[in-house]
A and B are shown apart, each in its own frame.
Chain A
Amino acid sequence: MGYLRKASKTLKQSNYVSLLFNFNLTHQRFSLNRALFCTQSRQNNTKEKPVIDLSQYPPELVRNFSIIAHVDHGKSTLADRLLELTGTIKKGLGQPQYLDKLQVERERGITVKAQTATMFYKNIINGDDGKESPNYLLNLIDTPGHVDFSYEVSRSLAACQGVLLVVDAAQGVQAQTVANFYLAFESNLSIIPVINKIDQPTADPDRVKAQLKSMFDLDPSDALLTSAKTGKGLEQVLPAVIERIPPPHGRSESSLRMLLLDSYYDEYKGVICHVAVVDGALRKGDKISSAATGRSYEALDIGIMHPELTSTGVLLTGQVGYVISGMRSTKEARVGDTIYHTRSEGPVEPLPGFKPAKHMVFSGLYPADGSDFEALNHAIERLTCNDASVSVAKETSTALGLGFRCGFLGLLHMDVFHQRLEQEYGAHIISTVPTVPYIYEYSDGSKLEVQNPASLPSNPKQRVVACWEPTVIATIVIPSEYVGPVITLVSERRGQQLEHSFIDSQRAFMKYRIPLREIVVDFYNELKSITSGYASFDYEDSDYQPSDLVKLDILLNGQPVDAMATIVHNSKAYRVGRELVEKLKKVIDRQMFEISIQAAIGSKIVARETITAMRKNVLAKCYGGDITRKRKLLEKQKEGKKRMKRVGSVDIPQEAFHELLKVS
């Protein structure tokens, strides 16, 4: 779908890297550094005698921070540089975008899983007063930047006390900058503005400073000017982190409370949880429990990400690291969960803000080849091991056979899930048109949440008294000359303007309430194309709103194709129906019978096309020498048929389903 391709750099799971570094290398530190680079072989020793002594880092020497930015403003490169600067990764070694480990993250320049990294740093600037500066432990928590994962982001930010707000010196404030700023601002975090990419010829840091002032009321003199590419200005970054971001405020003497930031599944080690210790301390072998699930585990291995798994045997108040506790599936590791000692003295108050994943976009996933159901089942099981935020339920379609109805946090999440299924598991899938969860209310007072349009009765027994659809608050930042076309586009999508202002003389900022359904298909591409790629767009979930919705059925020779049903606003039903029918006419081949393609609301036909019957398909001659060749030809034809999906007597090519995804 190519959807929201560039929307964000970080989707999910915190990347935190412990940056272990000391400018004045002591013997002790040196040996420690060496140990770092052979993490794997060292593991056994570590269990006996941790090399890194975390007790040297009380909360006041710990800083937990995150980098937030609009996509492509240089977040990942800046993270790489900080890791290099502290010797956590060796310069020139390892791949760029160190914390973005998935193929999809690298390809799209986004972060899907949160990562963490622990760094060690000695502040040389403070060392000027003659008093030796202590070593600091800095945890970089790399969060997904995209709105689909705003819940994960808010959880990651909950483990931070401050952020680096990175803004491209040429592009200035963009939609995601705004969204991310408010997330950080609402979490009461210290915000350090970093104007990055100042080496560009078009860089205009002063303009960006002015934008930061007018949009966010950030003091221009607080902004750091950097180029992560050339290294310019980077030396100011970590001192600023230490000076301007407060230490974590947990209570060391309290019972253990840990925030679960994210988890991932490792073939050999099982579920690995990224955690932030808010209060108390965790030691290897401790019995721990989850507040969300009530399940108990044993902390089998504990450590920091430095930058890979590095056992420490202990995690103290304010520190960030990983826990391996024998969880079988990441479904047990809920983002935002609170983990505490099973035998705590007195009740433990869970950390605030936990909520289960909210699925905003649903689509049916079917094996492209019907016989591959088991393989797809397996692939989805494996992938959801690593991404527990997807809801999966089996469903059956008359057209597509056995498949799954999957719920996603948002569009990008869905897109990424599809891509990972194909890239990491080689699954070939047909996806139905994504839909949003509508709510229907009937005259008998019953309510129905519709996650699959096909499940909505076309001719219900009860009268529908109301329906609601989810809306989003969309933020759009564009060069001022595109305001006209954008307003037209958004009003076509039933958007309602909430705010229209200017970031500066060249850049407009608009806020809209838009039904989620309207941006599910092709909105971002359209927006990009009418603004020559200059628009930036972000959105956040908002309320359900009453709406005049109808179910649009697609019928082939009078038979509804369940996988093609869709729910649309009444005002658009005719247009969408016509578009769908025309698309289908183009992709369905002529067959032995005449085929009628209809779009219908209930029993009312709103659009119709006919595909005339095939007249002739015959091989005129078949003699001895031809038999093998003719048979191969017919077998090829048979294979073609086999790949098609059949409804009644009509063969539907897979492309038909792909094409329908493109109709808004």
Chain B
Amino acid sequence: MLKSTFTPIYLVLSPKPKSPKLSSHIITNTFSNSTQPVRQNSSLKHTPSSAYVHLPFCRKRCHYCDFPIVALGSASTQTQNDPRVSNYIQWLCREINATKIDEENTNTPLQTVFFGGGTPSLVPPTMVSSVLETLRNKFGLSQSAEISMEMDPGTFDYKKMQEMMLLGVNRVSLGVQAFQEKLLRSCGRAHGLKEVHEAIDIVKSCGVENWSIDLIASLPHQTSDMWEESLRLAIEAQPTHVSVYDLQIEQGTKFGRMYAPGEFPLPCETQSAEFYKMASRMLGDANYNHYEISSYCKSGYECRHNYTYWKNKPFYAFGLGSTSFVGGLRFSRPKMVNEYMNFVQNLENGSVNSSSDNDIHGKDTAMDVVMLSLRTARGLDLKRFGESFGSSLVLSLLEAYKPYVESEHVVFLDEQRITIGIDDVKNAHLDETNSERRVAYIRLSDPNGFLLSNELIALAFGVIDS
């Protein structure tokens, strides 16, 4: 580079600002649908109404996992008296209490809470209770709040499930991953197939209405038949939600040392793509909506908490290694327990702050919005995007995606969410003023567009950055 070619991004993004008072804070409005108009419009500043709580304990580390976890040992199913757990819960509650809140917006109770991990179901219900109490006292907790918990087979029984439900847990995300003993073992899960079936029975017999089965595709040695079987058995269990994750080989994990993506015993790219398509087809046939790249649900059972992420709304996060998004700042907590405790102390004595009041960079926000919304079936709402980032950027995006409409990777939708045909797209000037059927949404097609989402999103990044 002989000279800097940096251009302040706001010049590019809003050559003709429609409303000068729009600040980057409005960006979080981009995806708000009409269900909560009053609250959304009441203030440009948003207090989070979602909280993620990290409970890092696991019996052992799975071979693919690079999350911040604390392995307790395979024998640990009773954690009531484990000081590592009780101490952590204390620090967690201290963190919640020390978190600064916006005094003007204290009347927004939490609408979703998500216990993720780790294996949250390893934590004794009494301790979960104290966390929920702390949250309720600090932020308020809506009566209708969605309270999700990740639970692993073999870590809970009927009684524990019932206790969790009594505390308010009303959504379970069951980490099944595979329905083959051999695969469970080869990816280092702490449970076998028997525990999987038991766990499904417990969840169903306890009457958890809203629950999800999590599956992993493209595991080593996984065949097409195995994957079909896993999908079939998942569907037969009749959860309201299915998450299908594609195995990512992460550096520093056991798999990362053993395998290279696309090489045996991992399925090749073509096969892996077939797995994805198979999931989309089978789950679709069983009336699950493919509402996000890796999420399927029966109508009305979208994970409300995850939608917070995908709509780029703010959220709190508490616990080891967790990331919050408050006041436009994505803040990641330390991943090591000792450093985490230091952080909590600093938070208590006011020497660190996990939120921000600063405006975030327009370009960064635009990229976040595009990246997250294009993961969903709803897609990118161009009207709101244009209001926040300028209509010229919308036109550039449409122009960039045009060829991909023809190749059926991208779908343009009108206000009524009716697909705009390729001929109309080709002929359209894409100028909102004279186009009768204005393009209102851009989404990626299922499954072809979703499968190449990285390419397509990176393309949009190029447009935003140019």
Q: Which residues of A contact B (CB under 8 A)?
A: 369, 371-372, 374-376, 378-379, 425-428, 591-593, 614-625, 627-628, 630-631, 633-635, 637-638, 641-642, 649
Kindly identify, within residues 407 to 466 of chain B, every residue whose CB is under 8 Å from any CB belonging to chain A. 407, 409, 450-459, 461-462, 465
Q: Which residues of A sit under 8 angstroms from B52, Cβ to Cβ?
A: 624-625
Q: Which of A614, A619, A627 sits near B323, CB closer than 8 Å?
A: A627
Query: Is there a chain A Cβ closer than 8 Å to B26's Cβ?
Result: no
CA–CA, A425 and B2, complex, Å: 8
The answer to whether the Cβ of B321 comes within 8 Å of any Cβ in the partner chain is yes
Contact indicator B309/A378 (Cβ below 8 Å): no
Given contacts A625-B322, A628-B332, A616 and B273 within 8 Å (CB-CB): yes
State how many angstroms separate the Cβ of A615 from the closest Cβ of chain B.
4
Question: In the complex, A349→B230 CA distance in Å?
Answer: 96
Distance in angstroms from B278 CB to nearest chain A CB is: 13
In the bound complex, CA of A500 to CA of B309 (Å)? 79
- In the complex, whether B65 has a CB less than 8 A from a CB of chain A is no
A617 and B368 contacting across the interface, CB-CB below 8 Å = no
**Of the candidates A428, A616, A622, A634, which one forms a contact with B272 in the assembled complex, judged by CB atoms under 8 Å apart?**
A616
Residues of A within 8 A of B248 (CB): 619-621
Q: Is A625 within 8 A of B276, CB to CB?
A: no
Provide the B2-45 mask, 1 if CB < 8 A to any CB of A, else 0. Answer: 11010000000000000000000000000000000000000000
B187 within 8 A of A: no
Provide the bound-state CA to CA distance between A620 and B462, in Å.
22
Q: Is the beta-carbon distance between B2 and A376 smaller than 8 angstroms?
A: yes
A375 to B457 alpha-carbon distance, docked (Å): 30
Q: Is the CB of A427 within 8 A of B455?
A: no
Measured CA separation A641–B309 after assembly (Å)? 27
A592 to B309, CA, bound (A): 28
Q: Which 5 A-B pairs have the closest CB atoms?
A: A375-B2, A620-B246, A615-B273, A638-B461, A616-B273
B458 and A593: CB pair below 8 A? no
B403 within 8 A of A: yes
Contacts of B330 in A (CB 8 A): 627-628
Does any Cβ of A come within 8 Å of B106's Cβ?
no
**Do B452 and A592 have beta carbons less than 8 Å apart?**
yes
The verdict on A630 contacting B5 (CB below 8 Å), with A618-B293, A621-B294, A624-B315 known, is no
Q: Is the CB of B245 within 8 A of A621?
A: yes
Question: Which residues of the other chain, B, contact A372 by a CB distance below 8 angstroms?
Answer: 1-3, 5
B451 touches A622 (CB 8 A): no
Q: Are A618 and B461 in contact (CB under 8 A)?
A: no
Task: Please determine whether A625 and B465 come into contact, CB atoms closer than 8 angstroms.
Answer: no
CB contact under 8 A between A622 and B309, given known A616-B452, A631-B367: yes
The answer to whether the Cβ of B375 comes within 8 Å of any Cβ in the partner chain is: yes
- Least CB distance from B60 to A in Å reads 21
Which of B5, B245, B310, B367 is within 8 Å of A371, CB to CB? B5
A615 touching B269, Cβ below 8 Å: yes
CB distance from B131 to the nearest CB of A (A): 17
In the assembled complex, which residues on chain B have CB atoms less than 8 Å from the CB atom of A621?
A: 245-246, 248, 294
| Nearest CB in chain A: distance from B384 CB, A | 19
> Roughly how many angstroms separate A615 CA and B323 CA in the complex, as a whole number?
32
Asked if B270 is at the interface of the complex by the 8 Å CB criterion, the answer is yes
Instruction: State A592–B407 Cα separation when bound (angstroms).
Output: 9
Contact B325 A617 (CB under 8 A): no
Pull 8 A–B residue pairs with CB atoms less than 8 Å apart, ordered by A.
A372-B5, A592-B409, A618-B276, A621-B245, A621-B294, A622-B310, A638-B462, A642-B465
B371 at the interface (CB under 8 A from A): yes
A contact residues around B325 at 8 Å (CB): 624, 627
Contact between chains at B273 and A631 (CB < 8 Å): no
Q: Write the B316-331 contact mask toward A (1 if CB under 8 angstroms, else 0).
A: 0100011111000010
Q: Cβ of B341 < 8 Å from any Cβ of A?
A: no
Known: A635-B367, A638-B458. 8 other contacts (CB 8 A): A426-B2, A428-B1, A592-B404, A618-B453, A619-B293, A625-B52, A625-B317, A627-B371
Cα(A428)–Cα(B2), bound, Å: 8
Instruction: Check B3–A375 contact: CB distance below 8 A.
Output: yes
- Residue of A426, A427, A615, A630 near B270 (CB, 8 A) is A615
A617 touches B451 (CB 8 A): yes
**Chain A residues near B465 (CB, 8 Å)?**
638, 642
Once the chains bind, are B317 and A616 in contact (CB under 8 Å)? no
Which residues of B approach A to under 8 Å, CB–CB? 1-3, 5, 52, 116, 217, 244-248, 269-270, 272-273, 276, 293-294, 306, 308-310, 315, 317, 321-325, 330, 332, 367-368, 371-372, 375, 403-404, 407, 409, 450-459, 461-462, 465
B459 near A620 with CB under 8 A, answer no
Please tell me if the beta carbons of B309 and A617 are within 8 angstroms of each other in the complex.
Answer: no
Is B269's CB under 8 angstroms from A616's CB?
A: yes
- Of B276, B309, B454, the contact of A637 (CB 8 Å cutoff): B454
A631 in contact with B368 (CB, 8 Å): yes
CB neighbours (8 Å) of A633 from chain B are 454
Which of B52, B247, B273, B452 has its CB near the most chain A CB atoms (within 10 A)?
B452
Q: Which B residues are CB-close (under 8 A) to A631?
A: 367-368, 371
Minimal beta-carbon separation of B249 from chain A (angstroms):
12
Q: Is the beta-carbon distance between B455 and A635 smaller than 8 angstroms?
A: no
Most buried by A among B293, B367, B455: B455
Contacts of B456 in A (CB 8 A): 592
- Nearest B residue to A640 by beta-carbon distance? B458
Complex Cα gap A371–B315 (Å): 39
Chain B neighbourhood of A637, CB < 8 A: 454-455, 458, 461
Contacts of A427 in B (CB 8 A): 2
A592 contacts across to B, CB distance below 8 A:
404, 407, 409, 452, 455-456
A-chain residues with CB within 8 Å of residue B367 when the two chains form the complex: 631, 634-635
Neighbour of A624 across the interface among B245, B294, B309, B454, CB < 8 A: B309
Q: Which residues of B contact A624 (CB under 8 A)?
A: 52, 308-309, 315, 317, 322-325
Tell me whether A627 and B453 are in contact (CB under 8 A): no
Q: For A369, give the chain B residue with the smallest CB separation.
A: B1
Determine the chain A residues whose CB is within 8 A of the CB of B270 once the complex forms: 615
- Tell me, rounded to whole Å, the shortest Cβ–Cβ distance linking A403 to chain B: 14
Residue of B nearest to A378 (CB): B2
Given A618-B293, A631-B367, A634-B371, CB of A625 within 8 Å of CB of B458:
no
Given A627-B309, A641-B462: A618 in contact with B321 (beta carbons within 8 A):
no
Would A620 and B404 count as touching, CB distance under 8 A? no
Q: Point out the residues of chain A lying under 8 angstroms from B371, CB to CB.
A: 622, 627, 630-631, 634
Question: Hey, which chain A residues are within 8 Å of B217, CB to CB?
Answer: 620
Select from chain B the residue with minimum beta-carbon distance to A618: B453
| Chain A nearest CB, measured from B437 CB (Å) | 25
Residues of A within 8 A of B459 (CB): 638, 641
Contact A625–B321 (Cβ < 8 Å): yes
* Cα separation A621 to B306 with both chains bound (whole Å): 11
Interchain nearest-CB distance for B219 vs A (Å): 12
Bound form: Cα–Cα A198–B294 in Å = 78
B residues near A593, Cβ cutoff 8 Å: 407
Tell me which residues across on chain A come within 8 A of B3, comparing CB atoms. 372, 374-375
Residue from A426, A428, A616 whose CB has the most chain B CB atoms within 10 Å? A616
How far is the CB of B268 from the nearest CB of chain A, in Å?
Answer: 9
Contacts of A616 in B (CB 8 A): 269, 272-273, 276, 451-452
Q: Which residue of A lies closest to B247 (CB)?
A: A620
A427→B409 CA distance, assembly (Å): 38
- Chain B residue nearest in CB terms to A593: B407
**Contact among A371, A428, A623, A649 with B309 in the assembled complex (CB-CB below 8 Å):** A623
Closest-CB distance, B203 to chain A (whole angstroms): 21
Q: How near does chain A come to B266, taking the closest CB pair, in angstroms?
A: 12
Central interface residue in B2, B321, B375, by most chain A CB within 10 Å? B2
A489 to chain B, nearest CB (A): 40
* Whole-angstrom distance between the Cβ of A372 and the nearest chain B Cβ: 6
- Is the CB–CB distance between A634 and B2 below 8 Å? no
